[in-house]
Structure 1
Amino acid sequence: MGAKKGARASPLRSSKLLDLIRTNPSVDEPRPATGEGAARFLTSTGTFPRNVSPCHPATGSSPFPNSPWVQQLPPDLPTAAAITTGLVGSLVCQEGHVYSLAAAGDLLYAGSDSRNIRVWKGWQEFSSFRSSSGLVKAIVIAGNRVFTGHQDGKIRVWRTSSKDSSVNKRVGTLPTLADFLMSSIKPSNYVEARRHRTAVWLRHFDAVSCLSLEEDAGILYSGSWDKTVKVWRMSDSKCLESFNAHDDAVNAVAAGFDGLVFTGSADGTVKAWRREVAAGVKVGGAFATRHVAVQTLLRQDSAVTAVVTAAWFVYCGSSDGVVNHWQREGRGGSLASGGALRGHRMAVLCLAAAGSIVASGSADKTVRVWRRDESSGAHGAVAVLSGHAGPIKCLAVEAEAEEQGQEDRAAGRRYVVYSGSLDKSIKIWRVAERRWSPEAARGAPRHVRASAGYPSRRSPLHACAGRSRTIP
């Protein structure tokens, strides 16, 4: 069957994380909320605002009377709106480490190792839903559907109710049960998963580490520690293809431009694949896909942990703390190296991009924000955001929609950066891109440090973001 060509996987080897996380095995843990169900608005210095949260039991009913989250926000919106670059608020949770984030309009989705997916609207807790197993490693939003990738190798599909947007109901998994049972009947559909073990090619048999959506083509990509990338047609949840992308765990996948998709792996490589139609191979009445490797952008000893695309650029973060980037040369041309963005002292664990802004999160507990000049392709550092007590596991970036004043426009467009960490918190930052100038490119970035506002304790640091290079 053409759709499963190249799906055979070699045995996985034991993983070492020493070059991916080089940090103290203990991190500071935020103070838990006082009083059951208490959710209070605090400033970054720990003082109470004049207005109390509507989620507080004393002020009215709440859909989350037992919420484990403590919300820390500025006391009044005018003050928060005046911030051009700095911390806007924090969401501190006791239920689990934050592993994934996705922003869609005024909604923010967060997944953790507690198996919960929580949703915020306007930076206030809005709804939540829970998977039956597997920590949530990736989240993708497609209209009224939410796709989540899990440690147990499953991709779960949720649908938002048209009558009540706070209700998200699980509507299936990828692959569907019917497709999986049909495939499991034929012995030819089994591939080697590990030594002396086989599995149906249709399903990931190790953690789903990443998801990426190609909206124009109606395709969802999933990458896994089983070294494969699978291609899903969202209209009918059919798996169009599974291909061996790398010699080690796939840590990142990003749909890009010109029908390309980019993958990064613990084997230290970043590859570009072109999507084509698999002539003669049909799945559910339509042709399957065939992905062909067209270019290896990077080959190094350090594990690749994150990949993101923006306009005609591709960025990758590695366990050596460097963010490499490439730019397309002309329409349909190959990609040329644009250099490296340096500054992190430890592994880069996540990347996010919006407009001309690229943000990188690291095991050194900081987020670095870079700005790209669209005409020259040069990059300059904008800000260093610090305040987390643990490695930054996930990021989401969105451009602000509201109109800005003349004074704000002089600093450039403003963006909201969400950072999720293994310290069990999400921080909300506002960053102004600033107008581009050669002086800004040479100048040092603005360092912004958030005051935690609560005493620290110690807790064990759990597993890291991606899988590092494995050895025999």
Structure 2
Amino acid sequence: MREAARRLSDPNFSFRFSDTDEDFSERHSDFSGNEPQGSPMMKSPWNPGGASNQDDSDCPMNGLVGSLVREEGHIYSLAASGDLLYTGSDSKNIRVWKNMQEYSAFKSNSGLVKAIIISGEKIFTGHHDGRVRVWKASSKNPTHYHRVGTFPSVFGVFKCSMRPRNYMDGKGKHTAVWIKHCDVISCLSLNQEVGLLYSGSWDRTFKVWKMSSSKCVESVKAHDDAVNSVISTVEGFVFTGSADGSVKVWKREEKGKKSLKHIYVKTLLNQESAVTALAVSKNGSFVYCGTSDGVVNFWERENQLAHGGVLNGHKLAVLCLSAAGSLVFSGSADKMICVWKREGIVHTCMSVLTGHSGPVKCLAVVREMESTTARRWKVYSGSLDKSIKVWSVSELAPVMQTMTMVQNGTQIRSAKY
């Protein structure tokens, strides 16, 4: 089990961690978890129910809003913007949902969609063939999406193959291998401030793309195993997490208008268990790391990225992380989502969201527009049970359960889950 969790490089890896677990790839998911197959409820892709959206009050509750079920593949990626949700799966389809209804869909014959990220009107998707596709809705028909770019383009690869050009610093050459990932793209990150897109891959590198020109401006051999997560921050720092068990920090340095380079700064973590997910709080104050042993580590930027503590809330691998407001969300192969609330450096598990029948593979979080106090979030969770669930989570909700929290080597709360 450890070896399978460590590599995380097999797209057919089933995450079957227990002999008692059913093969969820053959199971149907519904809202209640006990609806019979082929029931009328299953015919609608979006099944509202469960704990409904509640207005913010003195004791708002966290709960399930609905479940999106479509039996076409495991859900590997999610991205949300406003009232639109984009979902990627191993069916090669990217589906768009709006107001609890299927709004649109587009398809790329390039393998499963491992990553989705949104920049304005453009949607970037990372694929199994090592390329990034760029999509945009038609101005005449917003339900129709068409491809407007590919990183790298076929012409760009051909040009580099036939006539390699010098690096900016003159010490090497751009080649077709240099500008193209030679394995699955596992993650994407944007730096809107400087117009850069970062892609991480199982080929052990991360690449930097200039969005305005679609050109690869740097390729960094970052790790000794698959890169599972990359996060870019507005301060010019880049964090990468890998199946080799390490989290590394890089700093962007620009030399003139045309030259940039990412310099290695330090290694935050180096262990046997694979690093499976990274997240950074909106202001960049905290960096979070999920690993295949079920642990979430975090570091404090204001304390020179010193290790701040460990969150123990899961029984199996942490597969995805997201941070919003004062909350941190961790999804796991144990089929649960832990909601952590941060107060200073102390993190408390305020709720555990359950309902998936398979590992929780991806998360997306957006602010609920109708929330009067702007402290309620809509959380989308995608699972290998082929469903997406929608949750309403408030920062003001009461703490339902406390889990173990270790800070600087000292256990400060011991009501263990």
Give 1:394-433 correspondences, 5 Å limit.
394-404=362-372, 413-433=375-395
| Aligned residues of 2:64 and 2:391 also touching (Cα < 8 A) | yes
Distance 1:68 1:275 in 2: 49
Distance 1:236 1:69 in 2: 42
Among candidates 346, 350, 367, match of residue 378 of structure 1? 346
In the alignment, structure 2 segments of 5+ residues that lack a partner are 9-14, 168-174, 404-412
Residues 79-121 of structure 1: CA distance to partner in whole angstroms, max 9, x if unpaired? 5445731110001111111000001111110000000000111
Q: Is 1:329–2:341 an aligned residue pair?
A: no
Change (3 A) 1:386 1:364: same
Among candidates 353, 357, 367, match of residue 389 of structure 1? 357
Change (3 A) 1:377 1:164: farther
Among candidates 274, 287, 290, match of residue 303 of structure 1? 274
Alignment partner, residue 135 of structure 1: 112
Q: SS of 1:390's equivalent?
A: coil
| Aligned residues of 1:30 and 1:92 also touching (Cα < 8 A) | no
| Aligned residues of 1:210 and 1:224 also touching (Cα < 8 A) | yes
Change (3 A) 1:443 1:46: farther
Give 1:209-228 correspondences, 5 Å limit.
209-228=186-205
Among candidates 129, 151, 160, match of residue 152 of structure 1? 129
Alignment partner, residue 406 of structure 2: none
Change (3 A) 1:240 1:347: same
Give 1:354-369 correspondences, 5 Å limit.
354-369=324-339
In the alignment, structure 1 segments of 5+ residues that lack a partner are 1-14, 34-41, 54-66, 191-197, 280-285, 448-472
Distance 1:110 1:347 in 2: 22
Q: SS of 1:94's equivalent?
A: coil
Change (3 A) 1:278 1:230: farther
Q: Is 1:316–2:278 an aligned residue pair?
A: no
Deviation of residue 181 (structure 1)?
Answer: 1.9
Q: SS of 2:160's equivalent?
A: helix
Q: What is the one-letter code of the residue matched to 1:142?
A: S
RMSD (Å) for aligned C-alpha atoms: 3.0
Greater radius of gyration (CA): 1
Give 1:55-454 correspondences, 5 Å limit.
70-74=45-49, 79-81=52-54, 84-186=61-163, 200-278=177-255, 286-310=257-281, 311=283, 312-329=285-302, 334-373=304-343, 376-404=344-372, 413-434=375-396
Distance 1:44 1:387 in 2: 7
Distance 2:34 2:242 in 1: 41
Q: What is the one-letter code of the residue matched to 1:352?
A: S
Q: TM-score, normalised by structure 1?
A: 0.74
| Aligned residues of 1:321 and 1:346 also touching (Cα < 8 A) | yes
Q: SS of 1:181's equivalent?
A: helix
Distance 1:218 1:128 in 2: 27
| Aligned residues of 2:92 and 2:112 also touching (Cα < 8 A) | yes
Distance 1:224 1:189 in 2: 24
Q: TM-score, normalised by structure 2?
A: 0.83
Deviation of residue 355 (structure 1)?
Answer: 1.3
Deviation of residue 199 (structure 1)?
Answer: 5.3
Deviation of residue 123 (structure 1)?
Answer: 2.2
Deviation of residue 152 (structure 1)?
Answer: 1.4
Distance 1:298 1:43 in 2: 40
Q: SS of 1:210's equivalent?
A: strand
| Aligned residues of 1:43 and 1:73 also touching (Cα < 8 A) | no
Deviation of residue 303 (structure 1)?
Answer: 0.4
Change (3 A) 1:180 1:68: farther
Deviation of residue 413 (structure 1)?
Answer: 2.1
Deviation of residue 74 (structure 1)?
Answer: 2.7
Distance 2:371 2:134 in 1: 35
Q: SS of 1:200's equivalent?
A: helix
Q: What is the one-letter code of the residue matched to 2:279?
A: V
| Aligned residues of 1:140 and 1:212 also touching (Cα < 8 A) | yes
Q: SS of 2:4's equivalent?
A: coil
Residues 412-441 of structure 1: CA distance to partner in whole angstroms, max 9, x if unpaired? 92111111000000000111222799x979
Distance 2:99 2:214 in 1: 31
Deviation of residue 313 (structure 1)?
Answer: 1.0
Distance 2:187 2:3 in 1: 20
Q: What is the one-letter code of the residue matched to 1:316?
A: C
Distance 1:28 1:267 in 2: 28
Q: SS of 2:276's equivalent?
A: strand
321-330 vs 245-254, greater mean Cα deviation:
321-330
Distance 2:264 2:27 in 1: 45
Residues 2-30 of structure 1: CA distance to partner in whole angstroms, max 9, x if unpaired? xxxxxxxxxxxxx9415564344712755
- Percentage of pairs with the same residue: 53
Which of structures 1 and 2 has the larger relative contact order (alpha carbons within 8 angstroms, sep 6+)?
A: 1
| Aligned residues of 2:318 and 2:332 also touching (Cα < 8 A) | yes
Q: SS of 1:254's equivalent?
A: strand
Give the length in aligned residue pairs: 380
Change (3 A) 1:189 1:390: farther
Q: SS of 1:302's equivalent?
A: coil
| Aligned residues of 2:328 and 2:341 also touching (Cα < 8 A) | yes
Q: What is the one-letter code of the residue matched to 2:23?
A: S
Deviation of residue 250 (structure 1)?
Answer: 0.4
